[in-house]
Amino acid sequence: MQRTEDGGIVISCDFCGTDWDEVRPMIEGHHGSVICLDCLKLAVVQAAPAEGKYSCPLCLRDNIPATLPRWSHPSHPNAIACEECIHQAARAFHKDPDVDWKWERKKK
Ligand SMILES: [Zn+2]
Ligand SMILES: [Zn+2]
């Protein structure tokens, strides 16, 4: 998400709340929503189905079925990423030559 501070725009991760320092890799979703690599690393491992429908700030979808796995950071449980956005971000980080991380897809 973005906020204005001292006349400048500060970008922070929607999930862990960390401000972007222009070094930390981040992926932008819709409407300025952002997920950082640290969150994404957790999300690809921890995403799981849970109770109830939810909405995702990255793709701005509402009423996402409970069966689609989701992930949220313990410090911001109201910001929930859907699995499709997690996978999309994982692919983007995976392909980025500046990011020292490779996505190892879970074998089912
Ligand atoms: Zn984060
Ligand atoms: Zn999503």
pLDDT-derived band at 68 (thresholds 50, 70, 90) equals: very high
106 C-alpha to ligand 2 centroid (Å): 19
Over residues 83-95, the mean pLDDT reads: 97
Length of the chain: 108
CA distances from 34 to 17, 57, 63, 67 (A): 10, 9, 20, 23
Counting ligands in written order, the one closest to the CA of 13 is: 1
23 C-alpha to ligand 1 centroid (Å): 13
Sign of CA dihedral 9, 15, 17, 23: negative
* Pair 62, 68: CB distance under 8 Å: no
Q: What is the mean pLDDT of the chain?
A: 94
Predicted TM-score (pTM) of the model is 0.91
Does 106 score more than 90 pLDDT? no
Give the per-residue pLDDT at 18: 95
